[in-house]
């Protein structure tokens, strides 16, 4: 059983640029959630994908967008980067949807994004 | 506004002691509760989940849930220096989709 993987590990971008972060879910999981974690804060929910559709969204602007692919992997795209977007971006996978049951989410190692 | 509150710490305990970490939440509809451990520079690691009132034990860890008081805690027995980390409390509300609301975390320091 493979765990959650994310790429890249680190990324440095300039304000105004666009970035794409990638996540592969844990084997057997069909739901991917993305979180932003600023220094000294808990993770903040960005959005969740289930069956290739956005299944819920936190308080983030539309320049944060995503995709989920048939193999349940996912991308997070951020346009028009701002300095405040500098953070650790975490992907979490879970077994979700109508299956019921627990909603444990397992995190990948994260992508550290620095916007200068 | 759904909130999860934790004391930021640091909570300092000597090796071998019991560490007690606390968390309160504001939304009475909350259904599932999780504790994550996060080492500096790393991602959160799930260590405990609890769904019903009472205690749940797993090795040196015990999670306690009191829904009436909207309170969840984590006890770590026989604390070790390797337990030094930030502990994040997360609350799940299954409202059609399942997301986690996190507290800011409590830093635990276990001294040898």
Pairing relation of β-strands B106-111 and B11-14? parallel
Instruction: Please tell me the distance from the alpha carbon of residue A48 to that of residue A52, in angstroms, as a whole number.
Output: 10
Do the beta carbons of residue A74 and residue A23 sit within 8 Å? yes
Question: What is residue B27's DSSP assignment?
Answer: -
Q: Pick the residue from chain B with its C-alpha nearest to A108.
A: B43
Nearest-CA distance A46 → chain B (Å): 10
> For chains A and B, what is the number of CB pairs under 8 angstroms?
64
pLDDT of residue B2: 66
pLDDT of residue B94: 66
How would you write the pLDDT of chain A (116 residues) with one tens digit per residue? 579 999 999 999 999 999 999 999 998 899 999 999 999 999 999 999 998 999 889 999 999 999 999 999 999 999 999 999 999 999 999 987 654 555 799 999 999 999 99
Report pLDDT digits (tens) over B59-104.
999 999 999 999 999 999 999 999 999 999 999 876 666 789 999 9
Cβ-count burial A51-81 (b if 16+ within 10 Å, e if not):
eeeebbbbeeeeebbbbbeeebbbbbebeeb
pLDDT of residue B31: 82
Q: Pick the residue from chain A with its C-alpha nearest to B87.
A: A42
Between vectors from CA B16 to CA B42 and to CA B84, what angle results, nearest 5°?
Answer: 15
């Amino acid at each position: 059983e493979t765990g959650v993987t994310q790429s890249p590990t680190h990324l440095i971008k300039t304000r105004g640029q666009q970035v794409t972060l990638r996540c592969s879910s844990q084997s057997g999981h069909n739901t991917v959630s993305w979180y932003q974690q600023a220094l000294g804060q808990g993770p903040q929910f960005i959005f969740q994908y289930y069956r290739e559709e956005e299944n819920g969204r936190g308080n983030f602007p539309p320049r944060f967008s995503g995709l989920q692919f048939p193999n349940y992997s996912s991308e997070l795209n951020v346009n028009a980067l701002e300095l405040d977007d500098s953070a650790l971006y975490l992907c979490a996978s879970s077994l979700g949807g109508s299956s019921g049951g627990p909603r444990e989410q397992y995190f990948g190692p994260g992508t550290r994004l620095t916007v200068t | 506004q759904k909130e999860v509150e934790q004391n930021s710490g640091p909570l300092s305990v000597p090796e071998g002691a019991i560490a007690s970490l606390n968390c309160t939440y504001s939304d009475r509809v909350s259904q599932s509760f999780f504790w994550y451990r996060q080492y500096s520079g790393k991602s959160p690691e799930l260590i405990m989940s609890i769904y019903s009132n009472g205690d749940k034990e797993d090795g040196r860890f015990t999670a306690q849930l009191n829904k009436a008081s909207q309170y969840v805690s984590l006890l770590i027995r026989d604390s070790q220096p390797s337990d030094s980390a930030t502990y994040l409390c997360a609350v799940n509300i299954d409202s059609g989709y399942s997301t986690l609301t996190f507290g800011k975390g409590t830093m635990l320091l276990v001294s040898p």
